[in-house]
Structure 1
Amino acid sequence: MEVFEATPTKQMRITMHGVAVLCLVYVAAAAAVAPVTYLAMLTEYTFQKYSFPIPLFALFGMVGVAVFYRPRSPLTFILEKLRDRGKGALMIIAMFLLSAAAFSTLKHVTPVYVSFFADPFLAKLDATIHFGNPWKVAHAIFPLSLEPTLFVLYGPVWFVQMVGMVLVAAFAKDHAIRARYFLSLVLVAIILGSVVRIIGSSAGPIFFGRIVGGDRFADLMAVLGSSPWGGAMIETSDYLYSSYAQDRTVFGTGIAAMPSLHVALAVLNALFLSQFGRATKYWGWFYFSAIMFGSVYFGWHYAIDGYVAIIATVTIWRYSKRCVDR
């Protein structure tokens, strides 16, 4: 007979309050590392870039959902949703803005402390495991007539879906799925956007010639420059490189390839949308595929950047479920 009975260990269940605390720690770290940059980023994100789109997206999204689910009384549906989730959603959006500014701050200042040392290794590894440069395969198999569509999906639609998913999750009635999404989002930002980024600090193929030197990706730049859509991507890279070289704080600032946060967030959103039915699930995974392919096609990332992002994000998503379900 045992003198002491074993008692199960009580594990803490992560709630939105816990996620908020994690966000505040992340924000405090960014503000401590670069207070001036963080303040500039916060002003940029809150007052200049997101102050109009977020209310607009929320309005149109809510009206669309109300008309679909409650066509006879859409206004009643909207008022009920605002009464039920309005205050909570507003707090989540505020935390998102604070955290987005923190993420961009750390992304912008990291090269000051850690150089882009991993590009030669990643470029060689990418070519080795794919038996050649993945971007060449991407351009060989993809119809040129669809390049404008890929450009729109990778560029303008990215901003819409990023803000849209935050709003959908913020207004979601299911507490567990809401907490799981935002916990995953914060962990992706911290683990992939900061820790793994430092471990594999790199700029990507589109910046290779300017940061590493050499002509390894000269053919890619020539191909991109031969089309208006690829040329627009080069112009965007010029904007980011100018911000990096002159140490200017601008919207979307920062250069980083490994791991791909574009791919990571696309995977996370696909996993999130898979919880709501076939239509949203199919869209989520289609959009993820477009982002993964586009990241290589337009030269923003090595293919391996996306692979690491996929594995890490799926792992985080599964871990977050365990934290929320405890």
Structure 2
Amino acid sequence: MKLFFRIVLVYAAVSLGVIVVLRYPSPALASQAMAATRTFGLQFTAAAIYMMPLLLLVPFVLGWRRFVSQLGLVGYAVMGSVTLQVAFSFLKSAIPMIVPFYADRALADADRWLHGGADPWELAHRWTEGLPVDALMPVYLSVWTIPAVALALVIAVSDRDAERTARFVLLYLSCWIVLGNLFALAGSSVGPVFYDALIGGDRFAGLHRALAESGLSNGAVGGIQSYLWTSYTDRSMALASGISAFPSVHVSIATLTAIYMAERSRWLLLPGLIFVATIQFLSVYTGYHYALDGYFSMLFVVGFWAVLRRIRLTGAEGAVARFAQVPDAPLAIRRG
């Protein structure tokens, strides 16, 4: 976790440098940075509270002495997670300043072609007509937040496997930095729900009617979407104000969570897969994402995980143990 924290600090420095170049430092920008840090700190605390019943079991599972020895790693995990999210939020907001949104037409066309001439959002609404889909929205808006902001903390307090810890911390960082920033720059896009506002026309007018009929436009989803578009037009750097469709960080984190659950216990594979399917479905249903955004994220995470599982870490045992910082890490690192 020490290396995790150091990587995040470098990432934060890069993020700050990009923002300084793109936007002249001002009291308003500094105020937004402080507000973002404070807001995410509160969100992290809320996620930790939801996890408290599980965290209280950790001392009994690990043993008190081992639990106390892990407290330093918990500190690195918490500080790293807070810093990561603030830095990510700023860089995500800066995407259209670096690469103006350009890929929506191609993504929308590819999405429609891949699904037999129908837009995936339309299929999602058609297949679930009359069903209480809004009852699933807390999974997308709240439950997903727990692994998104606290997975590193879960690993720090509960995982004794040094190699697995290193593997999933790398995967976790790649979801945010590689997918959420680098690939997002390469495929700079706003998604179906903002398509017409960006490009003009009424290609996704049906989506907006469907969201209004479902009641989502008048609830939390509609409020968040309005906030995102206003933040984009105002060039705001407020926390979680950036728009980026391709690829889907939501789906990448859900996929990573499912894989981690399955590695910890095969009995957790099915609930993990249900979680991924739910997040993918809702990301399309709400219009935040093209279906392709999620497909790409799944392939990336599963592919990178498979590569890391198969890499022979001969000669790297010490590096892996230092990365994971798990006491008494085994000297021999087994092949995945």
TM-score range relative to shorter protein: 0.7 to 0.9
Q: In the alignment, which residue of structure 2 is the partner of 1:237?
A: 225
After the TM superposition, which of the residue ranges 139-148 and 100-109 deviates more from structure 2? 139-148
TM value normalised by structure 2: 0.82
Equivalent residue, structure 2, for 1:56: 49
* Aligned with residue 31 of structure 1, among 5, 9, 16: 16
Pick the aligned partner of 1:295 from 283, 286, 290: 283
Q: Does 1:179 align with 2:166?
A: yes
Q: Name 2:300's counterpart in structure 1.
A: 312
Among candidates 201, 205, 218, match of residue 188 of structure 2? 201
Aligned mate of 2:95, from 87, 93, 110: 110
What is the CA-CA distance between 1:212 and the residue it aligns to? Answer: 1.5
Letter in 1 for 2:213: S
Paired residue total = 303
CA–CA distance in structure 2, aligned partners of residues 84 and 34 of structure 1? 38
Aligned to 1:86: 71
Alpha-carbon RMSD: 2.4
Equivalence for 2:320: none
Shift of residue 230 of structure 1? Answer: 4.5
Q: What letter matches 1:61 in structure 2?
A: L
- Verify the 8 A CA contact 1:260 1:305 in the aligned structure 2: yes
Pairwise CA distance, 1:19: 3.7
| Paired amino acid for 1:120 | R
Per the alignment, residue 34 of structure 2 pairs with 43
Alpha-carbon distance in 2 for matches of 1:143, 1:176? 45
Q: Does 1:226 align with 2:213?
A: yes
- Once the two structures are TM-superposed, the CA of residue 186 in structure 1 deviates from its matched residue by 1.2
Contact 2:4/2:169 (<8 A) preserved: yes
Shift of 1:311: 1.1
Q: Would the aligned equivalents of 2:29 and 2:237 in 1 still touch at CA under 8 Å?
A: no
- Please tell me the residue identity of whatever aligns with 1:87: G
Structure 1, unaligned runs of 5 or more: 1-15, 71-75
Native 8 Å contact 2:40 2:82 kept in 1: no
Contact 1:230 1:298 in 2 (8 A): no
TM-score, normalised to structure 1's length?
A: 0.84
Letter matched to residue 212 of structure 2: G
- How far is 1:231 from its partner? 3.4
Q: Is the 8 A contact 2:89 2:242 kept in 1?
A: yes
The 2-side partners of 1:289 and 1:230 are apart by 22
Runs of 4+ with deviation above 4 angstroms:
35-42
Partner of 2:124: 138
Match of 1:162 in 2: 148
> Per-residue deviation at 1:323?
6.0
The secondary structure found in structure 2 opposite 1:202 is coil
Distance 2:207 2:137 in 1: 16
- Does the CA contact (< 8 Å) of 1:116 and 1:201 recur in 2? yes
How far residue 189 of structure 1 moved from its aligned partner, in angstroms, is: 1.9
Q: 1:198 Cα deviation (Å)? A: 1.2
Q: Which amino acid aligns with 1:47?
A: R
Q: CA deviation at 1:279?
A: 3.4
Match of 2:82 among 85, 97, 101: 97
Q: 1: CA distance between counterparts of 2:146 and 2:311?
A: 29
Q: Taking structure 1 as reference, are residues 226 and 64 closer, same or farther at Cα in structure 2, changes over 3 Å only?
A: farther
More deviation in 199-208 or 159-168?
159-168
Change (3 A) 1:54 1:225: closer
> Which range moved further: 45-54 or 295-304?
45-54
Cα deviations by residue, 1:119-139 (Å, 9 ceiling, x for unpaired): 111111111111111111111
**Counterpart Cα distance in 1 of 2:312 and 2:8:** 16
Distance in 2, Cα, partners of 1:324 & 1:103: 31
Task: Give the gaps of 5 or more residues in structure 2.
Answer: 315-336
